Amino acid sequence: MWLSTEASTIMGGLFVSVQTAGTPPKASKKKPRPAGTLYRGHEGMWSWVFHRITGVAIFFFLLVHVLDTALVRVSPEAYDAVIGTYQTPIMGIGEVGLVAAIVFHAFNGLRIILVDFWSKGTRYQKLMFWIVIALWVLTMLAFVPRHLTNVFSH
Amino acid sequence: MATATAEKPPAAADAVPSFTVTLIIRRFDPEVDEEPRWQDYDVELYGTDRVLDALHKIKWEQDGSLTFRRSCAHGICGSDAMRINGRNRLACKTLIKDLDISKPIYVEAIKGLPLEKDLVVDMEPFFESFREVQPFLQANSTPGTGKERVQSVADRARFDDTTKCILCAACTSSCPVFWTDGQYFGPAAIVNAHRFIFDSRDDQAKVRLDILNDKEGVWRCRTTFNCSEACPRGIQVTQAIAEVKSAIMRGKP
Ligand code: HEM
Ligand code: SF4
Ligand code: FES
């Protein structure tokens, strides 16, 4: 996949610089990564990157969520034990990430629908991207304080 | 300053300022290199020079082995699409003064097509997709006595944008979908299909829509807009793809 190759070239770059740090002659001439540079796309490309990352993340969350919910049919005690671990602050912070991903994916999904089906959608895609970001920030500002007070006061 | 210029001979006073610019070029010689490597060059350039002039200076004055394609040098032949500072551009249309020369300029081959040497890639897969969409006029009617197929101004305007393509591959090789899936037709093939699908004189729109209504056709497009931003002809590529998508859904242009 594109993401994994880009990520691995970034990783590769990090790895090489770590490797050469101990050997002065090599470290002195710092060369760019042998792989190509990261393509410098604009709003459209990054919105797609985030859309795919959040989409895959939500998918894996739902997969786990279906499994843990299905546990209730196997053993209610085991279900209670697993669900109990979700009450911890770490999970509470994880939930912030999950909501952040879903909210971005949902708003940007509506943007993609407009790009596809509204005749002027392609012309306003950048503006719509920033509207998505604004709506995302507003939603998170409304959600995060309330949620975290809940998480840390119980 | 004023007195200095007054005393200098006119030639020196009119001298155009030049700058030392560093280019870092991703080189690859298939006979020597296992992997591409970056090499830097310092070149003396004017603000009005283009990246193509810089490449020429390197090739002619410093390193004759540097390999790249160019022909017209005026943005018409589509030979010299390359990745300049991380974005696909034509070297012959990228002015040095429009780049930040306080930093090195990175130049590398376009992405997603097989690298042959330095800045040259194998364009054959790209042209293969282009040929597959039947990019030529196919009319069932014979022209009238005047020998011409008459078309209204509005009908001509319908596909004007996509007639401007020079097949440089800047769009197709900027597409993240194409990088991972070389089978995808790619924006340029769709642009050139659009040019005939929406031409009122052509009668084979249905055939082209069928070709593009494929797993590797228009539905691969994820609307990242990299193609529209890369096109040196300013073609609204993503818009053209969207129009083909909706023509497929309607079942007619
Ligand atoms: C909240 C409502 C949702 C909306 C409005 C929405 C909208 C969309 C749209 C329009 C696309 C097409 C993207 C494109 O054409 O590039 C898409 C892709 C995707 N969605 Fe969602 N979606 C939603 C929820 C979900 C959920 C719950 C999941 C996880 C199971 C998910 C996972 C994905 C994935 C993996 C993709 C593929 C991304 C890609 O191809 O780049 N989405 N979504
Ligand atoms: S649509 Fe634009 S970027 Fe793509 S091949 Fe044609 S001229 Fe080049
Ligand atoms: S050399 Fe012909 S387009 Fe640049």
pLDDT above 70 (res A19):
no
Whether A36 sits inside 8 A of B222 (CB atoms) is: no
What percentage of chain B exceeds 90 in pLDDT? 89
Among partner residues A37, A40, A121, which is closest to B108 by beta-carbon distance? A37
Residue B69 CA: nearest ligand 3 atom is 1
Do residue A56 and residue A110 come from a single domain? yes
d(CA B12, CA B206): 65
A24-52: average pLDDT: 75
Q: What is the pLDDT of residues B15-59, one digit of tens each?
A: 889 999 999 999 999 999 999 999 999 999 999 999 999 999 999
Q: Does ligand 2 come within 6 angstroms of the Cβ of B58?
A: no
Question: Least CA distance to B230: which residue of chain A?
Answer: A41
Q: Does the pLDDT of residue A6 top 50, yes or no?
A: no
Contact B119, B107 (CB under 8 A): yes
Pocket perturbation via mutation, ligand 1, pick of A4, A47, A51, A139 by most ligand atoms within 8 A of CB: A51
Residues A31 and A104 in one domain: no
Q: Provide the pairing of β-strand B18-27 with B105-108.
A: parallel
**DSSP symbols for chain B:** -HHHHHHS-HHHHTPPPEEEEEEEEEE--TTT-SS-EEEEEEEEEETT-BHHHHHHHIIIII-TT-----SSSSSSS---EEEETTEEEEGGG-BGGGS-TTSPEEEEPPSSS-EEETTEE--HHHHHHHHHT--S---SSPP-TTSS----HHHHHTTTGGGG-----TTGGG-HHHHH-TTS--HHHHHHHHHHHT-TT-S-HHHHHHHHSSTTTGGG-----HHHHH-TT---HHHHHHHHHHHHHHT--
Instruction: Give the best-scoring range by mean pLDDT among A13-22, A80-89, B5-14.
Output: A80-89
User: For helices B187-197 and B124-132, what crossing angle results, to 10°?
Assistant: 30
Q: How far apart are CA B106 and CA B113, in angstroms?
A: 19
CB atoms within 10 A of CB B48: 10
Residue B181, number of CB atoms within 10 A of its CB = 16
Q: Please give the average per-residue pLDDT across A3-7, as a whole number.
A: 42
Taking 90 as the threshold, does the pLDDT of residue B231 lie above it?
A: yes
B231 Cβ inside 6 Å of ligand 2? yes
Cβ–Cβ below 8 Å for B223 and A115: yes
| Any atom of ligand 1 within 6 Å of the Cβ of A109 | yes
Task: Please tell me whether residue A59 adopts helix, strand or coil conformation.
Answer: helix
Both A34 and A108 in a single domain? no
- Do A131 and A100 lie in a common domain? yes
The residues of A whose Cβ lies within 8 A of any Cβ of B are: 1-2, 5, 31-32, 34, 36-45, 47-48, 112, 115-117, 121-123, 125
pLDDT value of residue A16: 33
For the CA atoms of chain B, what is the radius of gyration? 22
Question: Closest ligand 2 atom, CA of B167?
Answer: 5
Position A87 scores a pLDDT of 87
Could you tell me if A12 and A71 lie in one domain? no
pLDDT for A33 beyond 90? no
Q: Which of A16, A37, A35, A36 is nearest to A27 (CA)?
A: A16
Rounded distance between C-alpha atoms, residue B151 and residue B203, angstroms? 14
The total of structural domains in chain A comes to 2
- Do residues A93 and A145 share a domain? yes
Which of these, B24, B20, B43, lies nearest to B104 by C-alpha position? B24
**Mean pLDDT over each residue of chain B, to the nearest integer:** 94
pLDDT the model gives residue B9? 54
A124: closest CA of chain B, how far (Å): 11
Q: What is the mean pLDDT of residues B134-154?
A: 89
- Which band of pLDDT confidence, cut at 50, 70 and 90, is reported for residue A153? confident
The candidate with the shortest Cα–Cα distance to B188, out of B138, B139, B226, is B226
DSSP structure class, residue A154? -
Ligand 1 atom 24, closest CA: A106
The average pLDDT across A89-104 equals 95
Instruction: Check residue A23 and give its pLDDT.
Output: 36
Which atom belonging to ligand 3 lies closest to the Cα atom of B77? 2
Q: Please tell me whether residues A1 and A48 are part of one structural domain.
A: no
pLDDT one-digit tens code per residue, B163-206? 999 999 999 999 999 999 999 999 999 999 999 999 999 999 99
CATH code: domain of residue A89: 1.20.1300.10
Residue nearest to atom 1 of ligand 3 (CA): B73
Are A3 and A51 part of one and the same domain?
A: no
All residues of chain A having their beta carbon less than 8 Å from the beta carbon of residue B222 are: 48
Nearest to B188 by CA among B173, B209, B202: B173
Show Cβ contacts of residue A79 under 8 Å, excluding neighbours closer than 6 positions: A68, A69, A71, A72
Residues A61 and A32 placed together within one structural domain of the fold: no
Which residues form the domain of A88? Answer: 43-153
* pLDDT class of B211 with cuts at 50, 70, 90: very high
Residues A85 and A140 in one domain: yes
Structure tokens at A140: 């998170």
Query: Quick one: A65 and A26 in the same domain?
Result: no
Instruction: Determine the Cα–Cα distance for residues B43 and A70; give it in Å rounded to an integer.
Output: 67
Q: B12 pLDDT band (50/70/90 cuts)?
A: low
* Cα–Cα distance for residue pair B230/B82, rounded to 1 Å: 10
Mutate to test the pocket of ligand 1, among A105, A118, A132, A139 (most ligand atoms within 8 A of CB): A105
For residues A24 and A71, membership in a common domain is answered with no
In chain B, the domains with their CATH numbers are 18-120 (3.10.20.30), 124-140+152-250 (1.10.1060.10)
